[in-house]
Amino acid sequence: MITVSHVMTQGVIHVETGTSAIEAAKTMTVHKIGSVFVKKNDRFVGIVTELDIVRKVVGAERAPYYIPVEEIMSSPIVGIDERRPITEAADLMEQHGTRHLAVLKADEIVGILSVRDLLHPVSIDEF
């Protein structure tokens, strides 16, 4: 069985509440990732994705310099334990209409799983 821990991206990249959408996008660019978690007072409160920025800022013709991430983030964060099978992760994404899941170990976020990560086993014929 292929578990979430086999295909997830380890590490947690985040921005603080009050960060502008443009700064969140720059953080994603620097780290070559498609989402960042949002933190407030040392607690994760949401996630912002490229799609959030495209749809809720650019597509809505809003100025990205003046839109704080908390206005466009998805909250609460949907998570899955790192030991769960990737089929369960796919079901959870479908159920919640999301393309990203926080990966949890002992109730702490240790990484992220994107819908793209789920393609990895197929590409190496492990599925």
What domains lie within the chain, and their CATH numbers?
4-123 (3.10.580.10)
Return the SS3 of 69. helix
Q: Answer whether 113's CB lies under 8 Å from 8's CB.
A: yes
Query: 70, 37, 36: which is closest to 56 by C-alpha?
Result: 70
What's the rounded mean pLDDT across residues 12-19? 96
What's the rounded mean pLDDT across residues 17-40? 96
pLDDT over 60 at 123, yes or no: no
Give 64's pLDDT tier (boundaries 50, 70, 90). confident
Indicate the pTM of the whole model: 0.89
Query: 86, 126, 112, 114: which is closest to 3 by C-alpha?
Result: 86
pLDDT over 50 at 81, yes or no: yes
Q: Which helix (H) or strand (E) holds 96?
A: helix 86-96
